[in-house]
Structure 1
Amino acid sequence: MAQQAYMTETDNGGSGSEHRRNRFRRLLGRWLAGWRERGTWRRGIVTGAFALALALVMVLHAHIPNRIGNLGSLTETFLPWLGLFVPLVLVVGLVRRSATALIAAVLPVAVWLNLFGGLLSDKTAAGGDLTVATHNVNADNPDPEGTARDVAASGADVLALEELTATAVPVYEKALASTYKYHSVQGTVGLWSKYPLSGVKSVDLELGWTRAMRAAVATPSGDVAVYVAHLPSVRVKIEAGFTARQRDKSADALGEAIADERLPRSVLLGDLNGTMNDRALNAVTSQMRSTQGAAGNGFGFSWPASFPAARIDQILVKGVEPVTSWTLPETGSDHLPVAARVKVDDSAS
């Protein structure tokens, strides 16, 4: 009797498994049969049109006007995230068995890869002779001393801090004194260095108060002009759109200061409140290149720290060679620190 019961259970299990396989075959057959229907090309026209529009937005983002709520800059700030709509188009195309939607989805995929595919590869390399870092420490940072220790542990030779308050400056100065022999604070930005500073001055961003500075850093491989900047914040408001006019004006002023720089090697560290895709930063980005784009691994998003969605904290260079670029772990700020290693000495090249 026990043997008979065992055989019955085995038979039932086999029958259940076979039933599931047959059911899967029927469902698959119905789905495949749908592709042979004449409606395959008519279905999904709306989805296909959406895919085409998505591709056009990515291709023509520079032509989206800023006259209405700075819509162009807003689109460019989050441009990489438009790629998230591509899987949606593919899923809808598969579910609806629409050849039109699936073929149309190829267009945004190709455009997105052309724009951002290079960021997906690891371009980091060994070497370099100067490590730099920048961090918007947040005026409301509950632990400035801990933040100072964290960024100093990055090994940066030159460190820029933004959004410094009068009460927090002494805390940062004390916490960083053992690592950095030289430093200068101008308004709400500061520069700490293991190497001597000279030619320190504030940079006018046409704001009425100081949020940028310049100094020459005497590295062992030669002098490097280091700029620290915190461009004005931007906001997205229903009634006004992307409010970035003051940021744009300050970016132009910063670009003029960098263009007047006499040293052949320059590094810009700071919170620019904009991405490299944002046309409003052209006065700066047309002169300098991003270390993340040239020597990073991935997008290097830095804000907000809890769920980084945009790279608005930048390290840009001119006359020096980026070697590697990375983001640092979260501190008490709402931004992530970013760092890079560059090659200043070009005698071997």
Structure 2
Amino acid sequence: MTHVDTAKTGQVGPAGTGTGAPGAGTRRTRVRRAVRALSGPGPWRRGPVTAALALVLGLLMTAHARITGRGGFGSLVETFLPWFGLGVPVLLAVALRRRSASAVVALLLPAVVWLNLFGGLLADRTRPGGDLTVVSHNVGAGNTDPAGTARALAASGADVLALEEIADRARGTYEKELAPAYPHHTVLGTVGLWSKLPLSDAGPVDIQQDVGPLGATKTAAEKLPDTRALRATVATGRGPLAVYVAHLGSVRVTPRSGFGTGHRDRNAKALAEAVAAERNERVVLLGDFNGTMDDRAFDALTSRLHSAQDEAGDGFGFTWPAAFPVARIDQVLVRGVEPKRAWLLPETGSDHLPVAAAISW
């Protein structure tokens, strides 16, 4: 038998079988890798944390209505619920990197739930037609160009125009700039309604409610200033149309109360009661609700009125903040009329985007 010396140690071994044989190191590396692969967790056992996060995400979206409202957490979740869908592709990328079959399967739950909740909003639901165009805009108390905002809104061609958060110093500007296009208008407190068609029965709607939680009387500091809601009748060629304009209370984020929605929620309850008592079959509600229609606080309203954006819009129609909208808190809700189209108007000097809808009898 022939013997050879190894290159480094000088040891002698059988030719072709010693440690110096060509490719021996490579074969040993492959064997070690195969052993580790066989002894390690399989694809169904990899990524348990990713799979758990996927299930939690799915359950959160499924049971969002059961989340406690303590500290407004439930409202906070529901306000940004559409954005929870972004967790699916993020977790999917992690699952694929980990080669985790269990995580990929677990992601089916949040994916299916999100599509069930919001998949219909991805399609274009607009239809041709429309007898009347309505526009609503929170013009912003800090708007530095109310004249430009008024001209832009008048150029939209809306038949009925609702404005919220009208500052005292800007009221005259809006009235002057909108007068040529809208011969009929009413302004009460911080909200106003302009119309190309005759208005009647204009009056305030009390949405502040003096009674707080558990029957406690609200203090003066808790009450919102000025009139923040009104109702008027618009005389159309197809009959009277009841139009409401409302600006509900803002939400507050504080260390003590968390996502505070108390003022807004009381406003929403009072507004729902006013709509419930409305005798006109045809109703349009316009305004800044400081919340989305997924928020449980508006259940009493959404059980009686329908969102024009949900029925006849294209996409989510986010309105706030105008620079990078993440939530639709400005609404057009209807009853007794059919929304044909719903869309957003270009940015003005406000931090909200204007919303528009074409409705038909």
TM range (shorter): 0.7 to 0.9
| 1:207-229 deviation line (CA, Å, top 9, x unaligned) | 46310000000011211000000
Answer 1 or 2: which has greater helix percent. Answer: 1
Question: Within the alignment, does 1:295 sit opposite 2:312 as a pair?
Answer: yes
Shift of 1:281: 1.1
| 1:130-171 deviation line (CA, Å, top 9, x unaligned) | 000000000000000000011111111000000001110100
Question: Within the alignment, does 1:327 sit opposite 2:344 as a pair?
Answer: yes
Match of 1:70, SS state, is helix
AA aligned to 1:113 is L
Shift of 1:315: 0.2
Match of 2:91, SS state, is helix
Distance 1:220 1:240, change over 3 A: same
- 1-structure distance, mates of 2:100, 2:40: 10
| 1:271-323 deviation line (CA, Å, top 9, x unaligned) | 01110100011121111000000000000000000000000000000000010
Shift of 1:37: 6.4
Match of 2:169, SS state, is coil
Distance 1:93 1:224, change over 3 A: same
- Larger CA deviation: 232-241 vs 41-50: 232-241
User: 1:158-197 counterparts in 2 under 5 A?
Assistant: 158-197=160-199
- Corresponding position of 2:240: 223
- 2-structure distance, mates of 1:247, 1:211: 11
- 2-structure distance, mates of 1:35, 1:307: 50
Task: Identify unmatched segments of 5+ residues in structure 2.
Answer: 1-32, 209-222
> What's the TM-score, normalizing by structure 1?
0.87
- 2-structure distance, mates of 1:62, 1:250: 20
AA aligned to 1:54 is L
AA aligned to 1:341 is A
Paired positions, count: 312
- Corresponding position of 1:24: none
- 2-structure distance, mates of 1:40, 1:284: 48
Question: Within the alignment, does 1:120 sit opposite 2:137 as a pair?
Answer: no
Shift of 1:191: 0.1
- Corresponding position of 1:237: 254
Contact 1:34–1:97 under 8 Å retained in 2: no
| 1:199-258 deviation line (CA, Å, top 9, x unaligned) | 100000124631000000001121100000000000223332111001000100000111
- Corresponding position of 1:93: 95
- Larger CA deviation: 309-318 vs 199-208: 199-208
- 2-structure distance, mates of 1:291, 1:230: 18
1:273 to 290, 293, 303: 290
- 2-structure distance, mates of 1:205, 1:264: 21
Identity among equivalent pairs (%): 62
- 2-structure distance, mates of 1:76, 1:35: 45
AA aligned to 1:187 is G
Shift of 1:120: 0.3
Task: Identify unmatched segments of 5+ residues in structure 1.
Answer: 1-29, 345-349
Aligned CA-pair RMSD = 1.6
Structure showing greater radius of gyration is 2
- Corresponding position of 2:50: 47
> What's the TM-score, normalizing by structure 2?
0.84
- 1-structure distance, mates of 2:252, 2:309: 25
- Corresponding position of 2:263: 246
Distance 1:36 1:200, change over 3 A: farther
